[in-house]
Structure 1
Amino acid sequence: MKPFLEHIKTSKDSSWVLFDRRLPAIPFEWHYNSEYELTLTLNSRGQRFIGDNISRYDDGDLVLIGPKIPHTWCSSEDVCKEREHQALVLWFSDAFVKGMIDPHVELKPIRRLLERSSRALTFSEPVREKAREIVCAMVEQGPGARLTGLLSVLLLLAEDAGSAPLASEANQSESFAEATEERIGRVISHLHEHYRDEMVVEKLVRIGALSRSSLHRLFKRQTRMTMGMYVAHLRVGHACALLLNSEKPIAVIADEVGYGNLANFNRQFKGLKGQTPREFRRAFQRVLPDGPPARRAVTS
């Protein structure tokens, strides 16, 4: 299954992004970013998929992911039933690194840390606990204090002798021209919000402020797939999460992700995953039983 590009926007008062994501469950959304990503996952247990690594995660999971590495989390249960699953996600670009970090000799350990993030990194429990305090505090802080917090947590992670890589470098996705990302990003954001609905190309043309031919050409250049195939990946990705973490009938899941025709859902699911929805559900029950983390290849 090919990863989709997640488009990240910064606000006017910040050069990077802190996103506080709270959901009843974390869905399977196989994607990648152009930015560095530090994700702290709270009140959640399940599986995380990063490059060619599949591992279990628990409350307080902390991972630093370099640009272009496909990844997703997929929750199976919460820790506290009264609270939502929470992911605090910090995104910062290579331009931010070159402007803020590279010019300062005091921050060279961060540069080395980011170079190692090309394989994605996990961290030791003591460091995760300290980083958790810093990142959680940042949610209520203003832009200036958040920037200080970001540098503090990256310096903390850079000093962790217990950090370990997760994925092989071969799992990075190809880079794309930055000029294309902003224009197509609006279209991608719309598709993520409305993937269940019928895709109307004329509406996407208006959203992207492009001609019809330019939209198709630039979209395929950016994502390496057509818009129709991109929507199919979104729908199948959400279906994977429902198959793994619910007992809903397959026909109900098909309808929930936008397929009014069960046969069409089964055909597209098998085309992307190499197995039927029923086979997928059974296979993952065998692949990820209760027990220690497993390292397995993600199907492409």
Structure 2
Amino acid sequence: MPRTSKVSDPSYELMDDHEGDSLIYRQHGFPSPLVRWHFHKEYELHLIVDSAGKVFIGDYIGSFAPNTLFLTGPNLPHNWISQAGPGEVFSQRDMLVNFTDEVLHSGSRAFSELHQLSPLLARAHYGIEFRDPTLIAESRQLLQRIAHSRGMTRLGYFFILMEQLAGCEDYQLLSTVTSSHLADEHNVERINRAVNYIFQHYAQDLTQNEVAEHLGMTPTYFSRFFKQAAGRGFVEFVNRLRVSKACELLAKSDLPVTGVCFESGFSNLSNFNRRFQQLKGMTPSDYRSLVIQRLTEQNHH
């Protein structure tokens, strides 16, 4: 199929459905063509409603579950991949709002109150995950109101939501790189294929050569290409994905540490312990006891 224009590139998403509105509200299920590694000039406030899996934002890899809430900045590549069984479909997985810098900048010239949002928007360039359960529950209600309203009412709910997010102190910044390093339209389709392939196979033995071959590249070229596009080398990317999976298993299952090690794709225990310690600053068993301690504290509140 001939390439008609740059805009049709699957990597850069042109939001042409603003239809004169200041913000776009969307919801979609999984699988969906919207689920891919992509970026756009809009900010994206993204609430997961259903399913669990891995989130990729800039060079960050982590986990998501129902009621996790993220905000990504302009041109920061992102993707949420659900861990779904064969043929499993989630009819509504996400609720999201997209809005641009232009709207808020020009708006704050007229309404000085909008300056309150500046620190939040600056943080969004690295991607933010909000952690406060009360805030997330309120955000979900406001997103539902945004979904069911139009015009100034919708805008009103949006600003109430943004003010709450700006006041939230319980959050985590995610990526160490901001947009400009990674946002290259030409590469994103290929990086998408690479990330999807890695995601399907990281729990087994997976070599850089195998992924390079899958993409029809030489290993040397793939290695350079991947590091530039994903913000991390292949080995580190895979290790982070495996450690993230291990955290999930340590928190949510009774598998012994050895089981967690193999289940998350590591082939020997000492390598697993070393990588885990490197990325999390503690051993796998300390991580597990910390999670249990936190859950106990939460239940006592």
1:133 maps to which of 131, 141, 151: 141
- What is the SS of the residue equivalent to 1:63? strand
1:12 maps to which of 15, 19, 38: 19
Which runs of no fewer than 5 residues in structure 2 stay unpaired?
Answer: 1-9, 205-210, 228-233, 253-275, 280-301
Give the drift of 1:287: 5.6
Which residue pairs with 2:172 in the alignment? 164
8 A Cα contact 1:40 1:87, kept in partner: yes
Q: In structure 2, how many angstroms separate the alpha carbons of the residues matched to 1:223 and 1:286?
A: 26
8 A Cα contact 1:36 1:65, kept in partner: yes
Determine if the alignment matches structure 1 residue 46 to structure 2 residue 5: no
Higher relative contact order, structure no. (Cα contacts within 8 Å, ≥ 6 residues apart): 1
8 A Cα contact 2:61 2:241, kept in partner: no
Which residue pairs with 1:174 in the alignment? 180
Give the drift of 1:153: 0.6
Give the drift of 1:162: 1.6
Which residue pairs with 1:291 in the alignment? 250
Q: Percent identity?
A: 20
Which residue pairs with 2:231 in the alignment? none
Cα 1:102–1:163 shift into 2, 3 Å:
farther
8 A Cα contact 2:51 2:90, kept in partner: no
Which residue pairs with 1:100 in the alignment? 107
**Number of equivalent positions:** 232
8 A Cα contact 1:28 1:240, kept in partner: no
Give the drift of 1:77: 4.0
Q: In structure 1, how many angstroms separate the alpha carbons of the residues matched to 2:108 and 2:120?
A: 12
Which residue pairs with 2:82 in the alignment? 75
- The 5 A counterparts of 1:16-35 are 16-24=23-31, 29-35=36-42
Per-residue deviation, residues 46-70 of structure 1 (Å, max 9, x unmatched): 1112223221111011111121322
8 A Cα contact 2:56 2:62, kept in partner: yes
- The 5 A counterparts of 1:138-157 are 138-157=146-165
- The 5 A counterparts of 1:126-275 are 126-168=134-176, 171-174=177-180, 224=184, 230-243=188-201, 264=216, 273=226
TM-score between the two structures when normalised by the length of structure 1: 0.61
8 A Cα contact 2:54 2:64, kept in partner: yes
8 A Cα contact 1:26 1:85, kept in partner: no
Moved more, 104-113 or 130-139: 104-113
The root-mean-square deviation of aligned C-alpha atoms, in Å, is 4.3
Report the AA paired with residue 103 of structure 1.
Answer: A
